[in-house]
Amino acid sequence: MGKIFKERTAVETARKLFLEQIVPLKLTEMVRLEASVDRVLARAVYAERNVPHYRRSAMDGYALRASNTQGASPANPILLELSDKVQEGSCVWVHTGAPVPAEANAVLMLEDTQKVGALIEVRAQVHPNRNIGAVGEDIKIGDLIFEKGHQIRPCDASVLASLGFEKIEVFQKPLVAVIPTGDELLNRKKIQEIPPPGRVLETNGLMASLYVEKWGGISRSSEIVPDNQQQLKEAVKANLDADMILISGGTSVGKRDHAPEVLENLGKILVRGIGAVPGKPTTLGLINKVPIVCLPGYPVAGLVALYFFVRAGLWKLAGKEKKLRLENSKPSLKRLLSAKVSSRIGYVSFVRVVLEGEYARPLMGGGAGVLSSVAKADGFLLVPENVEGYEAGAEVEIFLLE
């Protein structure tokens, strides 16, 4: 009537084993810049235009010949004629961003001048090229603007628009199938009342789908599959067109847990049980080339598996190489623990915390099933495998819960 977890894989090892099996998607699509935010460039982008594309004044002031300002100072100003043509002894008004006449080789800023009738009093000396943006000074034709794999930000869309791009080629979004399984689960769309004892509404699938979408994938949800190996097998086979499959539930060691067997049967298990609390029953595998994550049914454990494996897996599928490289240096907050945190050696603990000023208050005494701890948590800290915990007052690194 149930086995006990005999082995477990360290989280980092498990992640490595999982990620190295994931092949980034190759299919691409063209998207308009308006719809490009968070998409991933399928090829490097090189400039096809110069920025600026003309000799541009960097200041409000006067375009002139630098030699005409030689020796000028507030005590010893030089008078130039204000004209519409730059030549010996004359200058032309230019505003910031205006083209600089070809005959000029400098712009004298307004603040260093005084208008005296139709004349301009030059009160400072300028060197050639001063306050002129040369053609291509910022960006030259052929310059690498973004590497393949770059994830587009709003400011990037603007840079691309300035370079004359209307559309860019991006990788398609990974399609992720979400299969909830468990006899105890009820479809929440089909039941209004409180479920009978022993039955619960299926909601982990919703959580998984919404994280998939948040992390740049497209989710596709299956009907709830009962605790039946054959039915689960059929459901998985029906979803092998997806780029990743998440099976939510049925991954522990009870007699009703069929996900690992199905995985073994159709493909192979990479990791069976991880060194994480919560999250221990997480199972990872591969069928054909489709990565499979078996998410524990307890909501917090499922959340941990989503954060540890699904997010990184999605990044790899989507070609977000840079994000993956930065994975271990995610932005965090430093906070002082307002209470002691205990952790089991050999397991990474995912400790939910509430932020209270300079302090982080751990939400302890809650197991993997405690929903209220998820609702309350602002973020989490990770206690490494080889650490027994932290004392109250210790400074810890907090990641916000997305």
Q: Which is nearer to a copy of itself, 192 or 230 (CB)?
A: 192
Give the residue, chosen from 10, 31, 58, 354, that forms a contact with a copy of itself under the rule CB under 8 A.
Answer: 58
- Considering only residues 135 to 154 of the shown chain, the ones binding a copy of itself according to CB under 8 A are 138-139, 143, 145-146, 153-154
Give the residue, chosen from 158, 223, 237, 344, that forms a contact with a copy of itself under the rule CB under 8 A.
Answer: 158
Query: Which of the ranges 171-179, 248-256, 265-273, 388-396 carries the binding residues for a copy of itself, by CB under 8 A?
Result: 248-256
Sheet of 268-272, strand order: 218-221, 175-180, 244-248, 290-295, 283-287, 268-272
Query: Around Cβ 230, how many Cβ atoms within 10 Å?
Result: 9
Which residue, chain included where needed, has tokens 């100072």? Answer: 73
Give the residue, chosen from 133, 217, 275, 291, that forms a contact with a copy of itself under the rule CB under 8 A.
Answer: 133
Q: How far is the CB of 33 from a copy of itself (least distance, A)?
A: 7
Query: Which of the ranges 16-24, 170-178, 260-268, 367-375 carries the binding residues for a copy of itself, by CB under 8 A?
Result: 367-375
Q: Which is nearer to a copy of itself, 23 or 134 (CB)?
A: 134
Q: Are strands 200-201 and 185-186 parallel, antiparallel or unpaired?
A: parallel
Q: Which is nearer to a copy of itself, 28 or 96 (CB)?
A: 96
DSSP-assigned beta bridge partners for residue 398: 333
Give the residue, chosen from 39, 55, 65, 311, that forms a contact with a copy of itself under the rule CB under 8 A.
Answer: 55
The footprint of a copy of itself on this chain (CB under 8 A) covers a number of residues equal to 85
- Considering only residues 307 to 366 of the shown chain, the ones binding a copy of itself according to CB under 8 A are 326, 329-333, 355, 366
Q: Are 312 and 327 in contact (CB under 8 A)?
A: yes
Q: How far is the CB of 268 from a copy of itself (least distance, A)?
A: 27
Binding mask 192-231 for a copy of itself (x = CB under 8 A): x-xxxxx-xx-xx-xx-xxx-xx-----------------
d(CA 167, CA 169): 7
Does 4 participate in binding a copy of itself (rule CB under 8 A)? Answer: yes
- CA 106 from centre of chain: 44
The token pair at 82 is: 């204000």
Q: Which is nearer to a copy of itself, 23 or 35 (CB)?
A: 35
Please give the radius of gyration of the chain, using alpha carbons only, rounded to the nearest integer: 31
Which residue, chain included where needed, has tokens 């930000």? Answer: 153
Give the residue, chosen from 370, 385, 389, 394, that forms a contact with a copy of itself under the rule CB under 8 A.
Answer: 370
Q: How far apart are the first and last CA of the chain?
A: 38
Residue 165 three-state SS = coil
Q: How far is the CB of 288 from a copy of itself (least distance, A)?
A: 28
- Considering only residues 159 to 198 of the shown chain, the ones binding a copy of itself according to CB under 8 A are 159, 161-162, 164, 166, 184, 188-189, 192, 194-198
Does 74 participate in binding a copy of itself (rule CB under 8 A)? Answer: no
Does 299 participate in binding a copy of itself (rule CB under 8 A)? Answer: yes
The token pair at 144 is: 């690498």
Phi, psi for 344 (deg, rounded to 5):
-90, 130
Does 37 participate in binding a copy of itself (rule CB under 8 A)? Answer: yes
DSSP state, 273?
A: S
d(CA 273, CA 244): 19
Q: Which is nearer to a copy of itself, 32 or 268 (CB)?
A: 32
d(CA 285, CA 288): 10
Q: Which is nearer to a copy of itself, 339 or 374 (CB)?
A: 374
- Considering only residues 257 to 296 of the shown chain, the ones binding a copy of itself according to CB under 8 A are none
Q: How far is the CB of 256 from a copy of itself (least distance, A)?
A: 6
d(CA 118, CA 127): 24
Does 99 participate in binding a copy of itself (rule CB under 8 A)? Answer: yes
Q: Are 168 and 38 in contact (CB under 8 A)?
A: no
Sheet of 90-94, strand order: 106-109, 61-64, 90-94, 78-83, 119-122, 113-116
Q: Which is nearer to a copy of itself, 387 or 401 (CB)?
A: 401
